[in-house]
């Protein structure tokens, strides 16, 4: 199939979804410009033309009944690669009723189902139906397998840990991924920054449990390459060398809030950052040693 034929399939599926989920509470197109460009490409382009750079992205919002809750909110975040449906779309599922382990397993099972049954075909509705059929099982199973509370004497309080994760990605272009990174970091109370482009860099810092939750969400998205390049873990219930007060999460932060940082974007697609400016930014935050860990050279 050509890019134009793929685009025609994408537009037909989006128009079907809009007819089935007509309100913003059910279907939210997060990039209206991308949809307009896709429609213009299908209606006005020559088959030899390249597809638009902006890719359609949308949120499907569902409410499901489960044994544990009257109504559970479920959000499917979808993005189309240019070659969809010959390749699978990027689909992530958000549900507050799932643990981190269940969330990871749900994505794994969903991608396996789509790979086996929907390769080469539009499949967002199939993904929605699969989630409806299987999400209840995940939530209900967690209730059945949850251990009964034990009546024991109070156990020692788990040691709290402050973490800082330095994440490396081959590139970060996708608008939905960039939006997720910003929203998830704020939701989890993490500070740090993300640098889109090629390469992509994300730093998050805060309670270890929140950092691990952030990483569990990010790593299941579709990436060419992503890893934790470096991490720092500092126990909080230890006293300083001078036997001073116990350190707190906020006292160990090197960033205030979380931001998307741009450093003089350049290149044909504006996707390369000035690494000299990145080094100065890290140096100001007291993190310049990480530059060599990322790039293998000392900054200046």
Cis peptide before 199 (omega within 30 of 0): yes
Q: What pLDDT score was predicted for residue 275? A: 87
Helix residue spans in the chain (DSSP H): 3-20, 32-44, 100-117, 124-145, 175-187, 208-219, 249-252, 275-284, 289-295
From CA 272, how far away is CA 235, in angstroms rounded?
Answer: 36
pLDDT digits (tens, 9 = 90+) for 46-77: 777 788 888 888 999 988 765 555 567 888 99
Q: How far is residue 199 from each of residues 47, 111, 140, 196, measured CA to CA in Å? A: 32, 26, 41, 7
- With a threshold of 0.85, does the pTM exceed it? no
End-to-end CA distance of the chain: 49
Superfamily name and number for 3-140:
Ubiquitin Conjugating Enzyme (3.10.110.10)
Q: What pLDDT score was predicted for residue 201? A: 93
DSSP 148: P
Q: What pLDDT score was predicted for residue 156? A: 59
Tokens coding 272: 């390369």
Q: Give the burial class of 86: count Cβ atoms within 10 A of its Cβ; 0-12 exposed, 13-18 middle, 19 or more buried.
A: middle
Tokens coding 43: 């209606």
Q: What pLDDT score was predicted for residue 7? A: 92
Instruction: Lay out the sheet containing 27-29: strands in order across.
Output: 27-29, 57-64, 72-79, 90-95
> What are the sequence ranges of the domains in the chain?
3-140, 161-235+248-295
CB 90 within 8 A of CB 78: yes
pLDDT digits (tens, 9 = 90+) for 165-214: 999 999 998 888 999 999 999 999 999 999 998 889 999 999 999 999 99
Among candidates 29, 132, 40, 43, which has minimal Cα distance to 80? 29
CB 30 within 8 A of CB 179: yes
How confident is the chain (300 residues) per 10-residue block, as mean pLDDT? 89 92 89 89 80 88 67 85 90 81 85 88 90 77 54 61 92 90 94 92 93 90 88 75 64 93 78 86 91 71
Q: What pLDDT score was predicted for residue 52? A: 87
Q: What pLDDT score was predicted for residue 145? A: 52
Residue appearing with tokens 């992530």:
92
Which CATH topology does 161-235+248-295 take? Alpha-Beta Plaits (3.30.70)
Q: Annotate 227-281 with DSSP letters as a single string.
A: EEEEEEEEESSSPPTT--PPP-HHHH-SSSSEEE-----BSTTS-B--HHHHHHH
From CA 103, how far away is CA 118, in angstroms rounded?
Answer: 21
């Amino acid at each position: 199939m050509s890019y134009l034929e793929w685009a025609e399939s994408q537009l037909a599926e989006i128009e079907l979804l809009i007819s089935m989920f007509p309100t913003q509470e059910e279907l939210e197109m997060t990039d209206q410009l991308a949809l307009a460009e896709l429609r213009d490409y299908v209606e006005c382009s020559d088959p030899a033309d390249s597809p638009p750079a902006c890719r359609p992205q949308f949120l499907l919002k569902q409410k499901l009944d489960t044994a544990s809750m009257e109504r559970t909110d479920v959000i499917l975040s979808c993005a189309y690669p240019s070659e969809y449906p010959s390749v699978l779309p990027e689909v992530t599922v958000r549900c507050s009723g799932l643990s981190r382990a269940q969330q990871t397993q749900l994505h794994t099972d969903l991608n396996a189902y789509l790979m086996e049954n929907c390769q080469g075909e539009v499949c967002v509705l199939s993904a929605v139906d699969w989630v409806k059929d299987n999400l209840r099982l995940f939530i209900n199973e967690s209730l059945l397998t949850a251990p009964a509370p034990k009546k024991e004497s109070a156990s020692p309080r788990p040691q709290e840990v402050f973490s800082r994760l330095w994440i490396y990605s081959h590139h970060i272009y996708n608008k939905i991924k960039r939006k997720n990174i910003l929203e998830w970091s704020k939701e989890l109370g993490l500070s740090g920054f993300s640098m889109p482009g090629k390469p992509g860099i994300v730093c998050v810092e805060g309670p270890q449990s929140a950092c691990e939750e952030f990483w569990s969400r990010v790593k299941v998205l579709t990436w060419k390459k992503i890893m934790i390049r470096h991490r720092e873990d500092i126990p909080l219930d230890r006293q300083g060398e001078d036997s001073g007060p116990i350190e707190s999460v906020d006292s160990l932060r090197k960033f205030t809030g979380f931001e998307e940082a741009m450093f003089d974007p350049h290149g044909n697609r504006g996707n390369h950052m000035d690494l000299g400016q990145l080094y100065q930014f890290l140096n100001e935050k007291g993190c310049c040693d990480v530059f060599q860990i990322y790039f293998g050279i000392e900054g200046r």
